[in-house]
Structure 1
Amino acid sequence: MHIHPKITPIYQTSVFKFEDLNEVEQYFGEPGSRYLYSRNGNPNSDELAAAVNRLEGGAGAVATGSGMAAIFAALLACCQAGDHVLCAADIYGGSSSLLDQELSRLGITVTYVPFEQLYSLGQLVQPTTRLLLAETMSNPLLRVADLRRLATECRQYGLKLVVDNTFATPLLTRPLELGADIVLHSVTKYIAGHSDVTAGVVVAKGEETAARLKQIGVLYGLTLSPMESWLAVRGLKTLRLRVREHSHNALAVAQFLSTQPSVRAVYYPGLPDHPQHMLAREQGGGLFGGMMSVLLADDEEVVNQFMRRSQRFPFAPSLAGVDSSLSYPLATSHRYLTVEQQAELGISTGLVRLSVGIEPVEELLQDLKQALK
């Protein structure tokens, strides 16, 4: 009996069987011809990696156990002990913690680059500098990096450009086409999209880097499990519809919030007064995503009241699910930065980050209206 499932089944197995020694030799002699052990690769994680690789236009990808594992793999693919890394100062707090607390122990040093200095790296480049790590849209102030310009700057100094494209998704921006060497995602966010998966993926532009990523994934044990991979692939199938709706809702929410007297600022690339609005329009194909930050009064009690009153934006410190949520960078993603670093990045007591979902937009506006009263 031949079974032809339309959807890839969940290969919930840690190991695969061999008939005899000939089959084992075939496994080692013809890479990709069959499976041996789920850490080395399994049909589900390979399917997810291939799908995101196709969306990003890469030469190969690996699916990892989290977005942090994806960042780790990307950095390790380019660096060894004694190397130096440049990192955009506007970056996810976990990325800076990884560099500061762990990779520093392996002899990899880091210099943080202020947003204003991203396109003139000359004074910061050392003989051992290997790469620049940046985000398409920064976390949490949604500053948009000009990736084409950044790639040109990196090439001038022989650096790899590694881009975290989580906020934008491949539907808004494809960093490899704009000159990046590696692109990564926290699949936990928009790619899976339903707040029920923890995963990451790293995509390489070149085949040599892709092979290196594969080796890191296997030897460090970063490979994503079959069940999580299957869920992420299922989520990915509606990415196009979701991103369109997230973007539509977020623009309406941003426009509404910018008229509210209790809101001091709205950081959203879709608003015409955003400093990189035109760049975001061009780089995002006219969509601006579902993420924004708003500045309320610098008073903890005001923030607490807003959180308690809102019914549609629960305080759930992650992002990009189909259901809206809010986060508080000062207490979660960026809490381990020094007070000076937080101030430099504009992360103050009143800053709240909103992840706008795909609910009926009128319900979201109504909820925000009553929460801000």
Structure 2
Amino acid sequence: MDIKPKITPIYQSSVFKFEDLNELELYFGESGSRYLYSRNGNPNSDELADMVNTLEGGAGAVATGSGMAAIFAALLVCCQAGDHVLCAADIYGGSSSLIDKELSRMGISVTYVPFEQLYDLAQFVQPTTRLLLAETMSNPLLRVADLRRLADECHRLGLKLVVDNTFATPILTKPLSLGADLVLHSVTKYIAGHSDVTAGVVVAADPEIAARLKQMGVLYGLTLSPMESWLAVRGLKTLHLRMPAHSQNALTVANFLQEQPAVRAVYYPGLPDHPQHELAKQQGGGLFGGMMSILLADDAETVNRFMQRSQQFPFAPSLAGVDSSLSYPLGTSHRYLTPEQQTDLGITVGLVRLSVGIEPVEGLLADLQQALAAE
């Protein structure tokens, strides 16, 4: 029977069969000709990596078991013991914890660069500095980096630019086309899109770095499982439809929240008064994504009442699913920063991050209105 599935099957196998030694030699002699062991590669994880690589316009990619694994791979592919990295101060808390707690044990040091100084890196560079890690849109205050300008500054100083593009996705922004050297995603978020997958991906502009990434994936055991890969591919197929819907809903929600007395500030690049609004508009093709943060009173009970009353925005410390949710940076993603770092970044008791889904927006507005009415 000649079976030709329209959708790639789930290759739920840890190992693949060979007829004889000749096939084994073909495996090692012709890269990509066949599969041996799922840690080395699997049709499902390769399909996901290839699809994201195509979207980002890269030379090769590797799918990983989580977004944190993707950050780890992107940094380590460029660094070794004794090296120094620069990192935007406005960064996901997990990224800074990885560098501070784990990469430091490998002899890799870090300097954090304030957002206002990202385009003047010479003062932070050391002889062993290898790269800058930044985000397209920062977590959680949605500051937008000028990636072309940032890439030019990095390359002028002989550094690689590594961009976490999770918030924007390649639907809004393609960092490699703007000069970045590596781009990474927490696939868990928008790429998979349904809050049922934990995965990551790293894409390289240079074929040699891409090959090295794949080798690291094998040796460190970073490879994503077949089932998670299959689910992520299924989600990715609707990304081009979901991102405009997220963006449209989020802009409506942001405009609404600006008018609410209980909301002291709304951080969303789609608002005309956002400091990088014009940059975000140009770099995102007129879309601004589904993420925002709002500032309520700096009082834990006020925040608790808002969370308890909201029905459409459950407190779920992740983001970017088709269903809306909220998170609390001070107590989750940025919990392990020092109080000084939290204050410098504007992460206070009243800061709440909203992930706006693709539900009918009227229901979201009604829910927010009643949740804020208590304040």
TM-score computed with the length of structure 1 as normaliser = 1.00
Looking at structure 2, the residues matched to 35 and 290 of structure 1 have their Cα atoms a distance apart, in angstroms, of 38
Match of 2:318 in 1: 318
What is aligned with 2:260? 260
Counterpart for residue 243 of structure 1: 243
| Structure 2 match to 1:177 | 177
Matches for 1:133-152 after TM superposition, within 5 Å: 133-152=133-152
In structure 2, what residue type is equivalent to 1:193? G
In the other structure, the counterpart of 2:273 is 273
Q: Which residue of 1 aligns with 2:305?
A: 305
Q: Is 1:372 aligned with 2:372?
A: yes
- Output aligned runs, 1:43-62, within 5 Å: 43-62=43-62
Equivalence for 1:226? 226
Gaps of 5+ in 1: none
* Secondary structure of 2:124's aligned partner: coil
C-alpha distance in structure 2 between counterparts of 1:74 and 1:314, whole Å:
32
Give a deviation string over 1:233-290, Cα, whole Å, max 9, x none: 0000000111010000000000000000110000000000000000000000000000
Spell out the pairing of 1:30-109 with structure 2 (5 A cutoff): 30-109=30-109
Match of 1:166 in 2: 166
Matched, 1:334 2:370: no
Q: Give 2:6's aligned residue.
A: 6
Counterpart CA distance in 1 for 2:158 and 2:216 is 23
Q: Which residue of 2 aligns with 1:131?
A: 131
Give the distance between the partners of 1:157 and 1:122, measured in 2 at CA.
7
1:76 maps to a residue whose letter is L
Amino acid at match of 2:68: M
- SS of 1:119's partner is coil
Code of the aligned partner of 1:28: F
Partners of 2:45 and 2:287 lie apart in 1 by: 29
Question: Shift in Å at residue 2 of structure 1?
Answer: 1.0
Shift of 1:346: 0.2
In structure 1, the residue matched to 2:202 is 202
Displacement after TM superposition at 1:319 (Å): 0.1
In the TM superposition, residue 27 of structure 1 has moved relative to its aligned partner by: 0.3
One-letter amino acid of the counterpart of residue 56, structure 1? E
Q: With the length of structure 2 as denominator, give the TM-score of the two structures.
A: 0.99
1:53 CA drift (Å): 0.1
Paired AA for residue 273 in structure 1: D
Which whole-Å deviations, capped at 9, do the CAs of 1:282-336 have from their partners, x for residues lacking one? 0000000000000000000000000000000000000000000000000000000
- What secondary structure sits across from 1:334 in the alignment? coil
SS at match of 2:343: helix
Q: Give CA deviations for 1:125-177 in whole Å, capped at 9, x if unaligned.
A: 00000000000000000000000000000011100000000000000000000
SS of 1:183's equivalent in the other structure is strand
C-alpha separation between the residues in 2 aligned to 1:26 and 1:156? 43
CA distance in 1, matches of 2:6, 2:244: 26
Instruction: Name the SS for the 2:131 alignment partner.
Output: strand
Partner of 1:295: 295
Q: Distance in 1 between matches of 2:145 and 2:244?
A: 21
Classify the secondary structure of the residue corresponding to 1:313: coil
**Equivalent-residue separation in structure 2 for 1:213 and 1:298 (angstroms):** 43
**One-letter amino acid of the structure 1 residue matched with residue 241 of structure 2:** L
Alignment of 1:19-30 (within 5 A): 19-30=19-30
Q: Distance in 2 between matches of 1:116 and 1:248?
A: 29
Distance in 2, Cα, partners of 1:238 & 1:152: 33
